[in-house]
A and B are shown apart, each in its own frame.
Chain A
Amino acid sequence: MGYTITEKILARAADQESVRAGDEIMAKPDFVLAYDFPGYTDVYFKQMKEEFGIEKVAEPERFGIFIDHMVPVASPKEEELHKGTRAWCAENDVPLYERKGIGHQVAAEVGYATPGAFVVHFDGHISQLGTFGTLAIGLRRNILEAFVREKVSIKVPETVRVNLHGKLKPGVMARDVFHHIVRILGPSSCRFQVLEIGGDGLEDLSIEGIQSITCLAMFTGALTAIVNPANERLEYASSRARKELEPVSSDPDATYSAVHDIALDDLEPLVVIPPTPANSRNLSEYVGLDVHSGYLGSCASGRLEDIEVAARILEGRQVKSGFMLHVIPTSHEIMAEAGRRGYLSTLAEAGAYLSTSSCDFCYGRIATMTEGQRAVSTGTLNVKGRMGSPDSEIYLCNAATVAASAIEGCIADPRAYL
């Protein structure tokens, strides 16, 4: 029997001939990534010194730190955190990426998404590096293991394979593909496993669209998501890779715990109603529901194709009076390109509020909602209180739906504008 891409990557990282799902191994991450956040990095940096006597990491090139939350800061305390992070990175010669964008996207831009690499972070949305054939797993606090040891303990996960077929219709986007996967497979379908995406339908999706899907893998219960590296995805990642590794792919006879097929042609725009990412519904059932704000951004969405569709919909139109539309490109690289292509001026003229990249809109640190307010959002999550008051609501949807809803002031079907 053949091996999955996950088994191949972990075998190399564990320095073993081969490993199989279920094996408990010690694997050396090629890269250890984190963004600074109170209670996480500040604590690890302190514990490394005080509890483990580690003054300096042995292989600084294996690490990467991002400052993307609390950007820009709103209090001296927040700035103190960032200052500590900058100092730690300088002392340890560890690369720091600040004011470049949301770390999970920047990680791909600066080459941590090396095909064949094993990457760990504390945050599970790092799964999006799987777009490039990188196995990237969010370990929560167990990331400390990767800060104080060369290897981390891991049980080789099984894999659920989802094959996409065909093409999406206009107004239906990669976000809808992910929310459809949750809808038909269920929010625990891939628990403790890897969600491997394949099929001819992949070629209809952009790199950005696949990043949206792999970013959200955790809401199927998956540890991460991965795609065999090929074509433009392999080109993108290989040209930026930080490490020379042989890209690997799943064998045709690899063992999967389940295989699902999804026809992209059949999909409609979806909306995920509060209070859980498990609640995928047809958008058509919610058209007309009053909304007060719209968020187009996050590590899941907010890339060029998202901004492009919003600009196309809003061109020559205006955001409805009283509606607050926030458009935050996922990275500076994306923002600059959106500027060159004229999307940003279209959106500004339509009345959108534009901001340079930051994670802060996604979790309600800024653009905070009060009681009774409701947002349409391309953010990652719709749990209670995520964007402000526990009595506000978040409807997750694709970028086109956010733009159409901004015009109407209520949940709107973008297909009428495309």
Chain B
Amino acid sequence: MALKNLRGRIAFIFEDDDFDVDQIVGVKNIKIQDLDELAGLAMTTYDPEFGSKVQPGDLIVGGHNFGFGHPHYPPMKALRHLGITGVVAESFSPGYWRGEISMGFPQISCPGIRAFVDRWDEIEVDWEAGIVRNISRGTDIAFEPLALADRAMLEAGGLLEYLKANTEENTQ
């Protein structure tokens, strides 16, 4: 099974390194489970009109060590509910990375990405070529290849599907 290339606009760029993703919905909202409510709160401190500007297929960009701190799942659930299809960052914090890959949510580690895009540029993540194309600028940049297990997990659509797809290895 091949991963489908991601194509969309850069809906937001988090310039800060060590970004704590809980800030996306705000810590006081972190226990909210309703996706519509969470999505309505997401990103409002960064751009009050984010919810109306974002389109299905859009991606977000982050800095170094994206997801540092004590990341919870609701912020990215909210972004996915708004149509965000992936995160491209300079680098990722391991706990965040594992958590989101296990949700089947594409994360692309791409050193240099912040300088490579402006907000609302259209990009394409080409899994086979291992590059991010900036369609708006006509340029491309290499990203770090996924570990085989991470790639298999994304192809399967998440941890549970990945483990269920390879049941012969389920030997408990």
Where the two chains meet, the residues of A that have a C-beta atom closer than 8 Å to any C-beta of B are 24, 47-48, 51-52, 54, 57-58, 124, 138-142, 144-145, 147-151, 153-155, 187-188, 191-192, 218, 221-223, 275-278, 381, 383-386, 389-390
Contact = CB atoms under 8 A, between A and B. Distances in A.
Contact of B160 (A51, A149, A150, A192): A51
Nearest to A56: B172
A276 B19 CA distance: 10
B27 A383 contact: yes
Contacts of B167: 52
A276 B20 contact: yes
Interface in B89-109: 91-95, 98-99, 102-103
A222 B167 CA distance: 31
Given A124-B95, A188-B68, A148 B102 contact: no
A147 B172 contact: yes
A277 B171 contact: no
Contact of B64 (A54, A188, A381, A383): A188
Contacts of B91: 188, 191
Contacts of A222: 94
Contacts, number: 104
B135 interface: no
Interface of B: 17-18, 20, 22, 26-28, 30, 64-65, 68-70, 91-95, 98-99, 102-103, 147-149, 159-160, 163-164, 167, 169-172
A57 B170 CA distance: 11
Nearest to B23: A384
Contact of B65 (A142, A153, A154, A187): A187
Contacts of A148: 163, 170, 172
Contacts of B92: 191
27 contacts: A24-B148, A24-B149, A47-B160, A48-B172, A52-B167, A52-B170, A139-B98, A140-B98, A141-B103, A141-B159, A142-B98, A142-B159, A145-B163, A148-B163, A148-B172, A149-B163, A151-B169, A153-B147, A188-B93, A221-B94, A278-B68, A381-B69, A381-B70, A383-B27, A383-B69, A385-B27, A390-B27
A140 to B, nearest CB: 5
Contacts of B95: 124, 138, 140, 218
B94 to A, nearest CB: 5
A278 B69 CA distance: 8
A24 B18 contact: no
Contact of B99 (A57, A140, A275, A383): A140
| Interface residue SS majority, chain A | loop
B27 to A, nearest CB: 4
Contacts of B170: 52, 54, 148-149
A188 B65 contact: yes
B172 A51 contact: no
B148 to A, nearest CB: 5
B41 to A, nearest CB: 13
A275 B20 contact: yes
Contacts of B30: 385
A188 B149 contact: no
A151 to B, nearest CB: 8
B100 to A, nearest CB: 10
Given A141-B102, A187-B18, A383-B22, A192 B159 contact: no
A145 B159 contact: yes
B136 to A, nearest CB: 29
Contacts of B27: 383-385, 390
Contacts of A142: 98, 102, 159
Nearest to A190: B94
Contacts of A149: 163, 169-172
Contacts of B171: 58, 149-150
A191 B18 contact: no
Given A140-B99, A383-B20, A383-B22, 9 more contacts: A140-B95, A141-B103, A144-B163, A150-B171, A187-B65, A187-B68, A188-B64, A191-B94, A221-B68
